[in-house]
């Protein structure tokens, strides 16, 4: 039985991510507020992919963006909204049920 659990975990780790997994990773990363580049690297997405996802998540109300003044100019920071946190919790519940 232990061997089966290990194989299942390995199979899950090697599978392609679906859209929900990517969205959850973005929302988890942005919980405390992050710039686009940090989210892009953490979620392992290309520049065009991160732009598509961030636009969609802001539009749907899962993320909010704020302009912040820094020493070398302004940057946009993305932060997960309460609706986004609820999405993360629901995805984690489903993953626990399946896993």
Average pLDDT, the chain: 87
Q: Is the pLDDT of residue 59 over 50?
A: yes
**In this structure, what token pair is assigned to residue 43?**
């979620």
Break the chain into its structural domains and give their ranges: 20-98
C-alpha 22/C-alpha 5 separation (Å) is 24
Instruction: Note the pLDDT of residue 69.
Output: 93
Question: Would you say residue 24 has pLDDT above 90?
Answer: yes
Asked if residue 14 has pLDDT above 70, the reply is no
SS3 state of residue 72: coil
**The CATH number of domain 20-98, selected from 1.10.260.40, 3.40.50.720, 1.10.10.10, 3.90.45.10:** 1.10.10.10
Asked if the model's pLDDT at residue 18 lies above 70, the reply is: yes
pTM: 0.81
Q: In 10 A of CB 61, how many CB atoms?
A: 11
């Amino acid at each position: 039985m232990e061997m089966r659990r290990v194989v299942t975990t390995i199979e899950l780790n090697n599978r392609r991510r679906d859209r929900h997994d990517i969205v959850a990773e973005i929302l988890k990363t942005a919980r405390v507020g992050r710039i686009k580049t940090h989210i892009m690297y953490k979620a392992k997405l290309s520049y065009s992919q991160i732009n598509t996802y961030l636009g969609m998540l802001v539009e749907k109300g899962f993320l909010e963006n704020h302009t912040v003044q820094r020493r070398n100019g302004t940057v946009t920071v993305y932060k997960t909204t309460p609706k986004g946190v609820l999405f993360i919790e629901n995805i984690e519940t489903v993953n626990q049920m399946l896993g």
